[in-house]
Amino acid sequence: MTDTQITKSKAVWPVLFSFFVVSFVDLVGTGVDELKQGADTPDYLLQLIPFVAFIWFFLISVPAGIWQARYGKKRVLNIAILITVLGLFVPLLGNTLLVILVSFALLGIGNTIMQVAANPLLMSVVPAEKGSGYLSLSQFIKSLGSMVGPYVAAVVGPLVASAIGFEGEGTWRFGLYLFGIVAFMAWLWLSLTPVAEEKNADTQVTIGSCLKLLGNRYIALMVLGIFAVVGIDVAINSNIGTFLQLKIGVSEEAAKYGKSVYFFAKMLGTLVGGILLMKGNANTFLKWSTLLALVFVFALTFVQHSIAAWILVGLISLGVSNIFPLIYSITVGNYPDRSDEISGLMMMAISGGAIFPLLVGLAMRSHLNGGLWIIFGLLVFILLLTRVKKS
């Protein structure tokens, strides 16, 4: 191995670990639940928490792509991790809505910049033919963090508070402090690891150059593919409980298993996808993953039994779990010299997660399967992307 190859191989693990830190923003649900229990804050105001966490994908994704082109992906990723560390320790100031809003706003800013920088940085330190596999593996690590995060905040945090004799409100915040320590360790590990980055000196990255890429039909469609798949993911996550209650008649408590099944299957799917994609063809994998998801969504419109519905939810999750890293890696692989701009555009497209859940929820009010029809249509669009050729 050459010195450059050795340097890149050493950088893989700290970069992958940064995706565990990316998952911390998913604690927004825990923040809403905990403040709902401990205060008389109206529900509609509590929805400001996820808003201040995710609005940054739309606002700063493209600028973040420009910053990393100028200052380097590793440096920008490390700054983003430090912003996340700061956000996780802000709740030391109290358990009020204002403090938690500031905390999750910082988490959202850090998360947006991390995802813009971490994805192309990972692609640059692994062999090109294994890019899709490593991106799926990174999503597995993120899913793992999303799974354990609520448990750490709701269970481990109060245990830590009790162990040190803290008896005030908001003991869940001690879970955030633990994650703050983990995030700081991620920053230290990446800081001490040399990363060989290839800079494109001939390309001046600006907001104009980023937006100009949307004039490329192939890139524009792939960005819309990210917009669609994130919309599918968040829409299922936020509406599956209501769907199971209304269509199958399960109890509110039992409906919660729908989310658990979805997240567990997503974690399993990204792990399996990461392994298979180390040697498999990304385009073929994208085609069959989408086809399987389409079949299972169609089947869910007919199911009447709760166990069968949960199984189908898990199978849908397996189908869609790798679509995001596949679309990203395929696009960047076709235009490696424009990775900074493409990353910014694709992270901006994560804002699809703020639009389609509402549309799916409204469609369900008109017809129980209405939301599934929207998801089916989005999957058809993604399937058509597998036939689009590079411009």
In a domain, 107, yes or no: yes
164 and 304 co-located in one domain: no
Report the SS3 class of residue 89: helix
The answer for residues whose C-beta is within 8 angstroms of residue 152's C-beta and 6 or more apart is 175, 178, 179
In a domain, 147, yes or no: yes
**What CATH code is carried by the domain that includes residue 232?**
1.20.1250.20
104 and 212 co-located in one domain: no
Burial of 220-230, coded b for 16+ CB within 10 Å and e otherwise, reads ebbbbbbbbbb
73 and 176 co-located in one domain: yes
User: End of a domain among 172, 194, 216?
Assistant: 194
Task: Output the six-digit token pair for 15.
Answer: 């970069």
Torsion sign (Cα): 193, 120, 15, 87: positive
231 and 368 co-located in one domain: yes
**C-alpha dihedral (336, 337, 341, 347), degrees to nearest 10:** 10
78 and 217 co-located in one domain: no
For residue 22, give the amino acid letter: V
226 and 176 co-located in one domain: no
166 and 246 co-located in one domain: no
What is the per-residue pLDDT for 274?
A: 87
45 and 158 co-located in one domain: yes
pLDDT, tens digit only, all 391 positions of the chain: 455 555 567 889 999 999 999 999 888 777 877 787 765 677 667 768 878 888 898 899 989 988 998 889 999 999 999 999 999 999 999 988 899 999 999 999 999 999 999 999 998 888 888 888 899 899 999 988 888 887 888 889 999 999 999 888 889 999 999 999 999 999 999 999 998 776 655 567 788 888 889 999 999 999 999 999 988 988 887 777 778 778 777 776 666 565 677 778 888 999 888 888 888 888 999 999 999 999 999 999 998 888 888 889 899 999 999 999 999 999 988 998 888 889 889 988 888 877 888 788 888 888 888 889 999 999 999 999 999 988 7
189 and 219 co-located in one domain: no
Domain with 240 in it: 208-385
What is the per-residue pLDDT for 360?
A: 85
In a domain, 390, yes or no: no
In a domain, 2, yes or no: no
162 and 250 co-located in one domain: no
242 and 158 co-located in one domain: no
What is the per-residue pLDDT for 253?
A: 61
In a domain, 203, yes or no: no
User: End of a domain among 194, 227, 258?
Assistant: 194
129 and 224 co-located in one domain: no
Kindly report the length of the chain. Answer: 391
User: End of a domain among 130, 160, 194?
Assistant: 194
In a domain, 146, yes or no: yes
In a domain, 80, yes or no: yes
The answer for residues whose C-beta is within 8 angstroms of residue 143's C-beta and 6 or more apart is 23, 263, 266, 267, 270, 321
In a domain, 3, yes or no: no
Domain count, the chain: 2
What is the per-residue pLDDT for 141?
A: 94
- C-alpha–C-alpha distance, residues 332 and 53, integer Å: 26
